[in-house]
Homo-oligomer: A and B are copies of this chain.
Amino acid sequence: MKTPGNQIRTRPIFFMAPFALVMSALIFSHCAEPDDSRELTALQEKALEFTAPLPEDAFEDGMERCEERIELGKMLFFEPRLSKSGLISCNPCHNMSTFGVDQLPVSVGHMWQKGPRNAPTVLNAALHNSQFWDGREPDVESQAIMPILDELEMAATEEHVLAVLGSMPEYVDRFQRAFPDEEEPMVYENVGVAIGAFERILLTHNSPFDNFLLGDADALSDKEKQGLQVFMDVGCQSCHGGTALGGGAFAVFETPAERESGESDLGRFDITGNELHRHSFKVPSLLNIVQTYPYLHDGSVWCLSETVDIVARDMLNEELTEEENAQIVAFLHTLTGEIPAYALEKPVLPASTPETPRPRFD
């Protein structure tokens, strides 16, 4: 199936300059301190060269962590009335019970329409350098308000959202408390600021690998350590580095299904128009990868082991042995952390009022 053109397209093209910046930002500003009382093994030190333990939250320097805003953001995340139909909140596509994804190839939105790409997880997303597969939004705050307006997803308008929220005294009050210094707290942008604040606490701590990085050399089994070693030997960390093990660099990539069909997603090119960005996508995070199937930007591959082979071959020109593949997969299993209990606690939503816009199914 490979043509020379395809080969060029499937070679890894990195945009390392921004990536390096993110990497250092992530490692040196976000990271929790490793446990100094224990001496680190060589493998731990090697791992800490390309990643770092998860920070407590993803609020950046100068950002205020406001609990009122986080709570409002959680309500909005679970609020189906933001959608035109009154049925679709953020949660169906970013299901908190299944690690922030819907485990479908592509998501289903308003009127059962399907989106063009696999929905990435909201867990640890705030650690990424940009949002969406094509990186078109810089942060979770600006990302969060886009699917609400997307005709394929929640199909609402800004006016609808503000009419819904403004119709319920509890939301009016909560916006005032979440944005106490603002004259007009209930503006559409602040819906994103609040959901973003919620997303900034959605970090999945306590994975075996996180504990390994924090100093517990026994947190990984021998096979998992071998997997980490192979992961580094073949160079996975050149893209999957940083605290989120991804979410920083962009790379040109076609999925096997795309190559077969001859119809490949243009990726970041659609945003920038830059020829170098043709078929280029943000490298996904590997955190909780075992749970966030199916894989690749079109959600076309269900098997993690198969995905590892595809990516090693297409991005790194490496043919893994069965053993190496199994070792890497074992290592990837150590990246499953804990969904924050707070995020699993569904909020109780206020009742609509006569002023609340009714669901619409057109």
Query: Residues of A with Cβ closer than 8 Å to B?
Result: 78, 80-81, 85-87, 92, 95-99, 102-105, 108, 111-112, 114, 290-291, 293, 302-303, 339, 341, 344-349, 351-352, 354, 358-359, 361
B344 near A339: Cβ-Cβ < 8 Å: no
**Contacts A97-B349, A352-B293, A354-B303 known; A359 to B104 CB distance under 8 Å?**
yes
A104 to B95, CA, bound (A): 21
A96 to B105, CA, bound (A): 26
A80 to B104, CA, bound (A): 11
Of B293, B339, B358, B361, the contact of A348 (CB 8 Å cutoff): B339
Chain B contacts for A354, CB-based, 8 A: 302-303
**Contacts A78-B97, A98-B349, A111-B112 known; A104 to B86 CB distance under 8 Å?**
yes
**Contacts A85-B108, A112-B112, A346-B344 known; A351 to B92 CB distance under 8 Å?**
no
A111 to B114, CA, bound (A): 11
A92 to B89, CA, bound (A): 10
A112 to B87, CA, bound (A): 11
Mostly helix, strand, loop or mixed at chain A's interface?
Answer: loop
Of B97, B290, B347, the contact of A347 (CB 8 Å cutoff): B97
**Contacts A97-B78, A344-B348, A348-B344 known; A87 to B111 CB distance under 8 Å?**
no
7 contacts between A and B (CB under 8 A): A78-B97, A80-B95, A85-B108, A92-B92, A108-B361, A302-B354, A339-B348
Most buried by B among A95, A290, A345: A95
Chain B contacts for A348, CB-based, 8 A: 97, 99, 339, 344
Q: Which residue in chain B gives the minimum CB-CB distance to A75? A: B97
- Say how many copies of this protein the assembly contains: 2
A103 to B104, CA, bound (A): 26
B92 near A87: Cβ-Cβ < 8 Å: yes
A339 to B104, CA, bound (A): 30
A96 to B97, CA, bound (A): 14
A86 to B106, CA, bound (A): 12
Q: Which residue in chain B gives the minimum CB-CB distance to A347? A: B97
A103 near B352: Cβ-Cβ < 8 Å: yes
A111 to B113, CA, bound (A): 9
Q: Please name the 5 residue pairs, one residue from A and one from B, whose CB atoms are nearest each other, closest first.
A: A112-B112, A344-B346, A97-B346, A97-B349, A291-B351
Q: Which residue in chain B gives the minimum CB-CB distance to A343? A: B346
Of B104, B293, B303, B346, the contact of A87 (CB 8 Å cutoff): B104
Chain B contacts for A78, CB-based, 8 A: 97
Q: How far is the CB of A298 from chain B (nearest CB, A)?
A: 15
Q: Which residue in chain B gives the minimum CB-CB distance to A339? A: B348
Chain B contacts for A291, CB-based, 8 A: 351
Q: How far is the CB of A346 from chain B (nearest CB, A)?
A: 4
Of B87, B96, B104, B112, the contact of A102 (CB 8 Å cutoff): B87
Chain B contacts for A361, CB-based, 8 A: 108, 114
Chain B contacts for A99, CB-based, 8 A: 348
A105 to B352, CA, bound (A): 14
